[in-house]
């Protein structure tokens, strides 16, 4: 596969150092062991519908250069391939990247470039891209990591470029009604699984208390973070489940 034609791109061989530098603030998890699980999730109706919502909101154009942050097994990147000029698909997991390279080659897709890199350290020059998308990536970063990722996205976008992403958007504070509803729904769903579900509840509670689990942020937090990074026209839609859909524009 040829190196991607995005200005300032590093070759795949050069990206290991970049991904290592950007790993701070990312939830420690062996993503290489979750390729099959991620691929199966990407085939579920819920994730397929969420992909379609992101693509519709992003409104990609045929001439545009696009980046998919936390691409995983390629749900978004492959869905965008025939709608834009080129798609960079970055992920911090070597196994995810290798899997997506295999899929891209098998499908003879010539404009998707899976590369190893971190959301917090994008291997691109300033103002290189028209559109950045992401799906359920940022809750694996702590608050510092999320802010760093938002700043990196702002840096690599052209003036007028768009940033569209979906992610978990709730908090653990019981004082907020949406937080209570989301957490209660999760607990009820796990409890229906019986002993295994109750064990999962205990494990998840331990991770929350020790700060070692997923780190979702509220819609209000994301609005402040995006505006703090310099974005304008920030819009955030709370979805029916735990998630939210955010869109923002880099000011011209």
In this predicted structure, what is the pLDDT of residue 211? 64
Same domain, 123 and 195: no
For residue 61, is it within any domain? yes
d(CA 90, CA 51): 17
Nearest CA to 168 among 153, 179, 184? Answer: 179
CATH label of the domain that carries residue 16: 3.40.50.150
Same domain, 189 and 106: no
d(CA 183, CA 189): 10
In this predicted structure, what is the pLDDT of residue 12? 36
CB-CB neighbours of 173 under 10 Å: 10
For residue 80, is it within any domain? yes
Three-state DSSP at 43 gives coil
Same domain, 27 and 149: yes
| Half-sphere exposure in the Cβ direction for 86 (13 Å, CA) | 14
Task: Give the domain extent around 52.
Answer: 12-170+216-250
Same domain, 192 and 81: no
For residue 4, is it within any domain? no
In this predicted structure, what is the pLDDT of residue 43? 84
Q: Judge whether 216 and 170 are in contact, CB under 8 Å.
A: yes
Q: Judge whether 152 and 121 are in contact, CB under 8 Å.
A: yes
Same domain, 97 and 199: no
CB-CB neighbours of 202 under 10 Å: 11
Helix 143-156 to helix 219-229 angle (10° resolution) is 40
Rounded average pLDDT per 10-residue block, the chain, 252 residues:
49 36 49 77 88 97 97 95 97 94 96 96 95 95 96 98 95 69 70 79 63 81 97 94 93 82
In this predicted structure, what is the pLDDT of residue 201? 66
Q: Judge whether 105 and 1 are in contact, CB under 8 Å.
A: yes
- Domains: count for the chain: 2
* CA dihedral over 29, 31, 34, 40, signed as positive or negative: positive
Can you give the pTM of this predicted structure?
Answer: 0.82
Strand runs labelled E in 84-230: 86-91, 112-116, 129-135, 157-168
């Amino acid at each position: 596969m040829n190196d991607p034609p995005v200005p300032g791109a590093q070759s795949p061989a050069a990206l290991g150092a970049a991904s290592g530098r950007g790993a701070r603030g990312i939830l420690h998890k062996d993503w290489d062991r979750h390729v099959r699980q991620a691929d199966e999730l990407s085939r579920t109706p819920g994730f397929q519908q969420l992909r379609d919502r992101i693509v519709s909101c992003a409104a990609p154009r045929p001439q545009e250069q696009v980046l998919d942050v936390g691409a995983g097994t390629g749900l978004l990147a492959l869905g965008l391939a025939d709608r834009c000029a080129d798609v960079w698909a970055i992920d911090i997991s070597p196994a995810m990247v290798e899997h997506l390279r295999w899929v891209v080659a098998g499908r003879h897709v010539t404009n998707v470039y899976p590369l190893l890199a971190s959301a917090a350290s994008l291997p691109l020059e300033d103002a290189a891209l028209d559109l950045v998308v992401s799906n359920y990536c940022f809750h694996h970063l702590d608050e510092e990591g999320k802010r760093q990722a938002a700043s990196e996205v702002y840096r690599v976008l052209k003036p007028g470029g768009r940033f569209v992403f979906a992610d978990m958007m709730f908090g653990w504070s019981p004082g907020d009604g949406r937080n209570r509803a989301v957490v209660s729904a999760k607990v009820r769903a796990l409890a229906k699984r019986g002993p295994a579900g109750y064990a999962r509840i205990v494990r998840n509670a331990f991770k929350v208390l020790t700060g070692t689990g997923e780190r979702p942020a509220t819609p209000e937090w994301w609005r402040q973070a995006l505006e703090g990074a310099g974005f304008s026209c920030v819009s955030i839609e709370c979805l029916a489940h735990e998630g939210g859909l955010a869109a923002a524009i880099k000011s011209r």
